[in-house]
Amino acid sequence: MIVYDVRNLAKTYPGATEPANKDISFQVREGEIFGILGDNGAGKTTLIKQMVNLLPSSSGDILLYGKPLDHEALYLPSLVGYMPQESHSLNQLTVAEALYYSAHLRGMKRSAALDERDCLLKLWDMENLRDHTSSRLSGGQRRLLRLAVATAALSKVLVLDEPTNDLDPQKRRLVWENLRALNRDRGTTIIFITHDAAEAEKIIERVGILHQGELIVTGAPHALKRNLKNKLRLEIAFEPGQAPSLPADLAPRQLTETRWQIYLEQHQLGAVTAALDIDRLTDMKLSSATLEDLYFHYVDAV
């Protein structure tokens, strides 16, 4: 079943000469984890706000389960849990209050909403913050609270705006694990935007790459990776000042003063490893191309 059907969507803000996004078409199927990747200013938040009906589109259609978003006043909010990017949305509520009221307003009975509150505090590791007001939380804690609120009384669809920004590595892992579990155990369709391709790879099933307001490609990462010319990524690190000696036909990219990255085809691997002086290496990682590589491949091609 198609959850979201986005057709030829465009948005130009009043007074702007360039559209924030244009000619965007894609579908999200039920039970899918769909990630929208894009750099800063690519139009990700504009698109997501159009998808949760917070921003009118200049042209195009968005259908949710086959119906326009606004065909009934409460149609979208009764199906979609949305996590906004703004950090002050729950300003004066305590963590426990925000979770309880969100669950109750989404139709749960009082006792069930209280249980849901306690369950969410535990799930999102926020039990020690239950009586803190949102305005006193750190940026990362607020983001986690907004995510917990979006998942209260679990909607069929979650739309998340940068769910892991500002979070420490431990909390980022918690977020991806919980989202994957919600998708696996409850069949929740999850749509999120991020500029962190490396993080998104942990969960994403299908991806859309947004660049300068245009959706340049959509598909499953493994299928898209087949289009990559060089499917292997080699990262090597040397002592400072010791440049690597590599076959001349390769174009290594210097990541830091001591770390280099090379994209390879399989047949080049033997020659490269033979050319490397292993004793001078401080680190070496060989992996298949990542979602980040995919992202750069398509963005650089534009």
Partner 1 sequence: MSTRSRAQNFPLQLIDLVLIELSNWRWSWRSILVVGACVPLFGMIGLSIYARDLGPDALHIIFSGSLVMSMMLGNLGNIQSHVVFMRFQGTLEYFATLPVHKHTLMLAIIIAFFLLSLPALLTLLVVGSALLRISLAPHPLLLLVMPLCVLPMSAIGALIGVSVGSSQQGGSLSVLTAFLFGGLGPVLFPAERLPEVLRLIGLINPAARAASALRQTLIGPLDQQIALDLAILFGFTLCVFYVVGKKLDWRASHSLR
Cα separation, 227 vs 222, in Å, equals 10
Cα separation, 1 vs 20, in Å, equals 29
Q: Does 55 bind partner 1 (CB under 8 A)?
A: yes
Please give the span between the terminal C-alpha atoms of the chain, in angstroms, as a whole number: 32
* Residue 20 beta carbon to partner 1: minimum distance, rounded to whole angstroms: 14
* Residue 15 beta carbon to partner 1: minimum distance, rounded to whole angstroms: 13
Q: Does 12 bind partner 1 (CB under 8 A)?
A: no
Q: Does 61 bind partner 1 (CB under 8 A)?
A: yes
Q: What are phi and psi of 157, to 5 degrees?
A: -130, 135
* Residue 126 beta carbon to partner 1: minimum distance, rounded to whole angstroms: 17
Q: Does 138 bind partner 1 (CB under 8 A)?
A: no
When binding is defined by CB under 8 A, the residue of 14, 15, 56, 240 that contacts partner 1 is: 56
* Residue 55 beta carbon to partner 1: minimum distance, rounded to whole angstroms: 6
Cα separations in angstroms, 212 against 137, 178, 224: 34, 31, 20
> Which tokens sit at 112?
């069930």
Q: Does 105 bind partner 1 (CB under 8 A)?
A: yes
Cα separations in angstroms, 146 against 89, 130, 189: 8, 13, 18
When binding is defined by CB under 8 A, the residue of 132, 156, 202, 231 that contacts partner 1 is: 156
Q: Does 106 bind partner 1 (CB under 8 A)?
A: yes
> What region does 125 belong to: left with phi over 0, alpha with psi -120 to 50, or beta?
left
Which residues contact partner 1 by CB under 8 A? 1, 3, 50, 52-62, 65, 68-70, 73-82, 84-94, 97, 101-102, 104-107, 133, 149, 153, 155-156
